[in-house]
Amino acid sequence: MEKPTVISHLRMRAVIARSVGILAIALGFVSGMYGLEHTETIWLRTALGLLVTGMIAQGYAMYCSIKLVREKSDAESR
């Protein structure tokens, strides 16, 4: 069995962060629409939290992708 490399770890982290980000943003929009219709409930604040969480996850995925490209270019230049 091959030993996992830094590149494979970064790729997996980026995929997981993108998936979590997409899911959190989608759930944030859906619960936000419900929260706008029912303003007395907690759904609007929950939606805002999900949207922020999704944006942070997408930012982390972008960071992992940039780091992955740099690691690949460093590995090729060696």
pLDDT of 1: 53
Please, is 24 exposed, middle or buried when counting C-beta atoms within 10 Å of its C-beta (0-12, 13-18, 19+)?
Answer: buried
5 contacts 68 by C-beta, under 8 angstroms: no
Q: What is the DSSP letter of 25?
A: H
Q: What is the pTM of this model?
A: 0.86
pLDDT at 2: 59
How far apart are the two ends of the chain, measured CA to CA in Å?
Answer: 25
What is the number of other CB atoms lying within 10 angstroms of the CB of residue 21?
20
pLDDT per 10-residue tile (average), the chain, 78 residues: 76 96 98 93 95 98 95 84
What's phi and psi for 41, nearest 5 deg?
Answer: -95, 175
Question: Which pLDDT does position 47 carry in this prediction?
Answer: 96
> Would you state the pLDDT for residue 65?
95
